[in-house]
Amino acid sequence: MTRGVPLLEDLGNIDGRHVLVRVDFNVPIAKTPEGERVVADDFRIRAALPTLTWLRDHGAIITACTHLGRPKGKPDPAYDLGPVRARLEELLPGVRLLENLRFSPGEEGNDPEFVLELIEGQDLYVNDAFGVSHRGHASVVGPPKYLPSAAGRLMAREVEVLTGLLDAPARPFVVIVGGAKVKDKLGVMRSLSAKADTVLVGGGMAYTFLKALGHSIGASLVDLTRLDDCAELLRSPGNLMLPADSVALAPGRKLSVEGPAGDDKPAAPGDGPEVEVFGLEIPDGWRGADIGPATIDRFGEVIASAGTVLWNGPMGVFEDDRFASGTKAIAEAVAHCPGSTVVGGGDSVSAVSQLGLEDKIDHVSTGGGASLELLEFGDLPGLEALREAPNTKLDPRAQG
């Protein structure tokens, strides 16, 4: 898959040359008790260190650029890169970091003038931002039109691992798909179900599939516009495994992500439990918010015998402790799987990180949407742009 994509070694002698590096430092920011903004999880910053270190050790003068959050094309103090810059300086001093790319509307609009501003004074370009390379933004697809370019170490590794899942995965190949929005996953599910031995489906998206089979899902999340698509996917190739039971929230109750717990309807004698486990049929008013114990056992057995596992998306609303068991159990099962394991998607990665299981996963991807698009279509705009860079066109070796 990396054929035609120039790598760092293809840049030649970089000693003393100015290199613009697109990184993905879109990291969670938290506030200390004193109100100071700090990086809450530096996983994505650490993931870029092999590329930045290689460039520094070979004498490059490095300027890094990234986005943070969604500031809507204008400066916003809530999204300035001060905390990110401070953490990067601690990890690798001497790398210049530009301000948030999305403070300019030219970034998401792929404005040619903004591209020229970015590359002014730069000799070379490196894309190590796999997590945004599915987007045709200025900093992703613009610089390779003008500068000799290359994929960074992280980008190359992500592509190698993920495309390897499509080419020759060790069998049985098990895909675990979760999350809330079924529409975001249907395309990649079609692609992967044709290659996987089993596709395990959890999260809020599972209830659209269950409804497509005629089951009662109560007040659970559903996308009525996708019922036919789900029914079709269930018919062919027929290797989808849906939840056999659910942990559900009682009518009138709120999830913790919907507001403070105090907003819940207060419990009263005779009200009954606020959380209950149901089988395939969920009563009216109850909301499925996690896979149940029978499903955990069933999914765990499939994962334990897998030769390759790809996991993208949580099994429930794991931010709410009442509905975190499914995601935690799947994370543990994947971590202990004897086969090759790949985890992608922000929430899945967060779960693995929170449980301290990162070191037990063979590859933790920095890209959710990018990994799904690469698996679905086999390519990304960021990769296409690198193949069209001036050095790629001039160097026939890169075409091999």
Active-site annotation, residues:
44, 181, 346, 369
Query: Do residues 273 and 249 lie in contact, with contact meaning Cβ atoms separated by under 8 Å?
Result: no
3-state secondary structure of 217: strand
For residue 94, give the amino acid letter: G
**Distance from C-alpha of 276 to C-alpha of 292, rounded to nearest angstrom:** 10
Identity of the amino acid at 50: P
Token pair for residue 177? Answer: 């798909």
> Edge-to-edge, what's the strand order for the sheet holding 18-22?
96-97, 61-65, 18-22, 124-127, 149-151
Q: Count other C-beta atoms under 10 Å from residue 355's C-beta.
A: 14
46 closest CA partner among 87, 17, 9 = 87
Cβ atoms of residues 291 and 202 within 8 Å? yes
The encoded tokens of residue 334 equal 């994947």
Query: Residue 341 and residue 174: Cα distance in Å, rounded?
Result: 10
Which of 105, 126, 120 is closest to 14 using CA atoms?
126
The single-letter code of the amino acid at 26 is N
* % helix, strand, coil for the chain, step of 5: 40, 15, 40
